[in-house]
Amino acid sequence: MNPKPVQLLAVALLAARRAGEHVMANLGRRDDALRVERADVKHKLDVEAQEAATAVLRAAWPGHAVLGEETADAPLPDAEVRWVVDPIDGTVNFFHGLPWWCCCVAAQINGRTVAGAVCAPELGLTFEASSDSPALCNGRPLRVSQTDDTRLATIHSGAYKGEPGSQSFRFMQRMAEIAQRPRVMGSAALDICMVASGKADAYFEPGIYLWDIAAAGLVLERAGGTLEVLREFGGWRMAALATNGKLHAACKDALAPLFDRGPA
Ligand code: LIP
């Protein structure tokens, strides 16, 4: 018998908070990178924060599988419950001293996300949701915006970290063309949580990973929004569209022709 979604949520929150506490206790190590790449940063605190979150998950349910960004290439045990961890979403922001980053922990049962926690400790924000409980931010209910015209919408996006000046920009340009204003903030999870909060209207990224969006995606859905994977590219990488629901079809229609020219 699997744990109930609200039980999984309680542990997801604890794990995300522990990861965030570890990072906050080491803010003086912002430049302690393992590798500074052309379009990404691999940070020692990513590894350590994932270890802090995983310790909580293992203590609760040793038999569950844990998929973490820092160990994504490792073989995953066969288990009905899979935890999905992004220890620092917005690592490049963190490395540069920008507080717009978060720690994400989601629980999936047979591939369906049933609990999610997004903890942004430098912003003082914790987002949470389960399939049996509402989307909350710091304990207060969330609701998506009612914006139904993209020309009045803020649409967030991001660039795939695989290479600089990537193919992502043609997708970002298209979103900018239909939006009131585009936004590129550097954390997919926080972008999606802003849509859930009604403070953004849509988010799209042509090459994003499951750990970036799983927890925030449930928060969005429980706040009345829609998360859709438009393409899957293997290796947990996908093109994902998150909206307030009212803008979903218009955003999807605007993006469709671009996919015919190949992935980001
Ligand atoms: C980041 C995402 C962001 C994307 C970056 C990167 P990370 O995740 O949150 O939306 O544009 O390329 O993938 O690497 O900081 O966990």
Instruction: Indicate if ligand 1 lies below 6 Å from the C-beta of 210.
Output: no
Contact 228, 248 (CB under 8 A): yes
Does the structure show a pLDDT above 90 at 264? no
What's the gap in Å between 127 CA and the centre of ligand 1?
Answer: 18
Neighbours of 10 (CB within 10 A): 17
Query: What confidence score (pLDDT) does residue 165 get?
Result: 65
Residue 260's pLDDT band, with cuts at 50, 70 and 90, is confident
Choose one of 209, 212, 227, 238 to mutate for the ligand 1 pocket test, by most ligand atoms within 8 angstroms of C-beta. 212
What's the gap in Å between 2 CA and the centre of ligand 1?
Answer: 31
How many angstroms separate the most distant Cα atoms in the chain?
Answer: 49
Instruction: Indicate if ligand 1 lies below 6 Å from the C-beta of 158.
Output: yes
Does the structure show a pLDDT above 70 at 161? yes
Residue 236's pLDDT band, with cuts at 50, 70 and 90, is very high
- Cα–Cα dist 189/17, whole Å: 15
Neighbours of 28 (CB within 10 A): 7
Instruction: Looking at the CA of residue 191, tell me the nearest atom of ligand 1.
Output: 10
Q: What is the pLDDT of residues 100-130, one digit of tens each?
A: 999 999 999 999 999 999 999 999 999 999 9
Query: Where along the chain do the CATH 3.40.190.80 domains lie?
Result: 150-261
- Using CA atoms, how far residue 179 sits from 64, 95, 158, in Å, is 42, 29, 15
- Identify the residue whose C-alpha is closest to ligand 1 atom 11: 158
Q: Which of 22-26, 71-75, 112-116 has the lowest mean pLDDT?
A: 71-75
- Cα–Cα dist 123/71, whole Å: 27
Confirm whether pTM is higher than 0.85. yes
Structure tokens at 30: 């912002």
- Using CA atoms, how far residue 128 sits from 43, 97, 120, 125, in Å, is 25, 25, 11, 10
Query: Where along the chain do the CATH 3.30.540.10 domains lie?
Result: 5-141
CATH number of 5-141: 3.30.540.10
Strand pairing category for 41-43 and 65-68: unpaired
Contact 226, 220 (CB under 8 A): yes
Give the orientation angle of helix 210-222 with respect to helix 188-196, to 10 degrees. 10
- Cα–Cα dist 178/225, whole Å: 19
Query: What confidence score (pLDDT) does residue 218 get?
Result: 99
State the CATH class of domain 150-261.
alpha beta
Query: What confidence score (pLDDT) does residue 261 get?
Result: 65
Does the structure show a pLDDT above 60 at 57? yes
**Strand partners of residue 234:** 237
Backbone dihedral region for residue 42 (phi beyond 0: left; psi -120 to 50: alpha; all else: beta): beta
| Percent of the chain residues past pLDDT 70, beyond the cut | 97
Contact 220, 191 (CB under 8 A): no
Does the structure show a pLDDT above 60 at 52? yes
Instruction: Indicate if ligand 1 lies below 6 Å from the C-beta of 91.
Output: yes
Q: What is the pLDDT of residues 176-233, one digit of tens each?
A: 999 999 999 999 999 999 999 999 999 999 999 999 999 999 999 999 999 999 999 9
Instruction: Indicate if ligand 1 lies below 6 Å from the C-beta of 87.
Output: no
Strand pairing category for 237-243 and 226-234: antiparallel
For residues 240-259, b (16+ Cβ closer than 10 Å) or e, as one string? bbbbbbbbbebbeebbeebe
- Cα–Cα dist 124/121, whole Å: 5
